[in-house]
Amino acid sequence: MSFTAINPANGETLSTRPDTPADEVDEIVRRAHAASMTWRDAPFTRRVENLQILAGLLRERKEEYGHLMTSEMGKPLAQAIAEAEKCALAADYYAENAEEFLRPVPAPTDASRSYWTYRPLGVVLGIMPWNFPFWQVIRFATPTLAAGNAALLKHAPSVPGCALALEKLFRDAGFPGDLFRSVFIDVDATGDLIEHPLVRGVSLTGSVRAGKAVAARAGGAIKKCVLELGGSDPSLVLADADLDAAVSSCVYGRLLNTGQSCIAAKRFLVVDEVREAFERKLLTHMGAAVMGDPLDEASVIGPMARIDLRDTLHDQVVRSVEAGAKLRLGGEIPDRPGAWYPPTVLTDVRSGMAAYEEEIFGPVATVIPVKDTAEAVRVANDSSFGLGASVYTRDDRLGERIAAELLEAGNCFVNGIVKSDPRLPFGGVKESGYGRELSPLGIHEFTNVKTVWVK
């Protein structure tokens, strides 16, 4: 196996990198462990300084990193640059808050002193995807390093340039050279790395299939893992919703990153009372979305990241139509080089169809008819996934109650798309995974929460 970057806009090979040999991987792990033993005792002022430098470099190099992301996985350049800027926000957040998050917590008992403290685990392995090749890594690595750990990155095979750029970024920010390293390994070697005695935890963002495999290997080795897996996020559009605002938000959430996001708006559950009007506005907005060169600022969507991903998406559309869904827009593979797929709309989607049951990872909007709010909630929860969900209504109290109490998802938003924010916990339930990233919870995930009792 080799790590090969192919420009999805035209199919041209950009770079190829061979696998890291097994003996070299072992040496990288051992060096990372040694670095973590020193780093864990570094004063917070050092950690803060390095994180601040990291944030500054991300902003300084955002154009460079944006072009790299766009060339390797195809996202529109403006979105890639914004991704680099968001990474800087995460670095700033942990620079400002890590010391407070990791302070010992007093707990009065029968002891003279008793408390719990957060101590680093050591080497943590991050297995990261291609769709947000900088953000996914930064949101894992910044709290991991801020907690005093070392981080190893096993990135997706299609973005080797991003993996190398990230390793250089952390080194340029002043972190010890062996504290953040990239390894280029296949699935079997990744399983072996999970079981390496010096790897103490695993964070995966990826598919359900990958999550089950990682959880099995980590569980067999009695190691903590955090899993952020797939999603089929519903958007509930209630009868009193502001339809113009709801459609605009839903289309933005569906097409962001060319629809290749775990928390993209994927299932539009629209009550019958407003469904016809919603669909009419949806078709107008989706039809106006420009598919084109991701370097062109006019392009709303670029190519998908890989040909095989595009073909899988098209197969889901075809199977859904064969099962009775109505194809209202798009749905045809363009006759041009690259991994292109147009904005597509399916309506009358119902239980049993691919577009209802499976994660649709691309620029395809699906409208599922529901008769009322109660049915919208039921259908929203009728999924093996539970990552995000959104509700559109003018009744803020009702929307908040549905989001807080009724929806089975880890991230529930009212009158807005689901998005990650360094200040809020991020993660899912059911087959969308477990554990939390970001916020104080994210930095605590890979620590030893140690009770101390003194008489």
Whether pLDDT at 299 is above 60: yes
Co-location of 109 and 136 in the same domain? yes
Structure tokens of 447?
């620590």
pTM of the model: 0.97
Size (the chain), residues: 455
Same domain, 374 and 435: no
| Per-residue pLDDT at 346 | 98
Is the model more confident about 1 or about 273?
273
**pLDDT exceeds 60 at position 1:** no
424 within domain boundaries? no
Residues 150 and 8 placed together within one structural domain of the fold: yes
- Do 147 and 274 sit in the same domain of this protein? no
Q: Flag whether 420 is in a domain.
A: no
Residues 254 and 307 in one domain: yes
Residue 165 makes CB contacts below 8 A (sequence gap 6+) with 65, 68
What is the pLDDT at residue 186?
A: 96
Q: Is 67 contained in some domain?
A: yes
Which pLDDT value is given to residue 256? 98
Total count of domains within the chain: 2
Q: Are residues 393 and 445 in the same domain?
A: no
Q: Two tokens at 265?
A: 């708006």
Both 214 and 267 in one domain: the answer is: no
Any residues with CB less than 8 A from the CB of 420 and at least 6 apart, and which? 135, 139, 263, 411, 426, 437, 438
Give the per-residue pLDDT at 304: 98
Q: Is 109 exposed, middle or buried (0-12, 13-18, 19+ CB in 10 A)?
A: exposed
pLDDT of residue 107: 97
In a domain, 10, yes or no: yes
Same domain for 30 and 174, yes or no, is yes
Would you place residue 259 in the very low, low, confident or very high pLDDT band (cuts 50, 70, 90)? very high
- State the DSSP H helix or E strand holding residue 97, giving kind and residue range, or none if neither: helix 77-101
421 in a domain, yes or no?
A: no
Q: Has residue 423 been placed in a domain? A: no
Residues 214 and 242 in one domain: no
Residues 70 and 101 in one domain: yes
Write out pLDDT tens, residues 430-451: 999 999 999 999 999 999 999 9
Instruction: Kindly report the CATH number assigned to the domain that includes residue 103.
Output: 3.40.605.10
Indicate if 299 and 445 belong to the same structural domain: no
* Domain contains 400: yes
How confident is the model at residue 2, as a pLDDT?
73
pLDDT at 22 over 70: yes
Rounded average pLDDT over 49-67: 98
Q: Compute the average pLDDT of residues 68-80.
A: 98
- The alpha carbon dihedral of 354, 356, 360, 366 has a sign of positive
**C-beta neighbour count of 226 within 10 angstroms:** 24
Spatial distance between the Cα atoms of 331 and 266, rounded to a whole number of angstroms: 16
Give the pLDDT mean for 223-229: 97
pLDDT in tens, 275-291: 999 999 999 999 999 99
In the predicted model, what is the mean pLDDT of residues 407-411?
98
Could you give the CA distance from residue 317 to residue 346 in angstroms, rounded to a whole number? Answer: 8
What pLDDT, on a 0 to 100 scale, did the predictor assign at position 302?
A: 98
The residue range of the domain holding 181 is: 2-229+429-454
Residue 379 maps to which CATH number? 3.40.309.10
pLDDT category, 378, cuts 50, 70, 90?
Answer: very high
* Pair 82, 88: CB distance under 8 Å: no
Flag whether 207 is in a domain: yes
Residues 121-172 have pLDDT tens digits of: 999 999 999 999 999 999 999 999 999 999 999 999 999 999 999 999 999 9
The token duo for 163 is 């993996």
Asked if residue 352 has pLDDT above 60, the reply is yes
Q: Active-site positions? A: 228, 262
- For residues 37 and 245, give the distance between their C-alpha atoms in angstroms, rounded to a whole number: 52
3-state helix/strand/coil string of 171-207: HHCCCCCCCEEECCCCHHHHHHHHCCCCEEEEEEECC
Residue 254: is its pLDDT beyond 70? yes
User: For residue 17, what pLDDT is reported?
Assistant: 94
Q: Note whether 165 and 221 are same-domain residues.
A: yes
Q: What is the pLDDT of residues 163-219, one digit of tens each?
A: 999 999 999 999 999 999 999 999 999 999 999 999 999 999 999 999 999 999 999
Q: Which two tokens stand for residue 300?
A: 């709303």
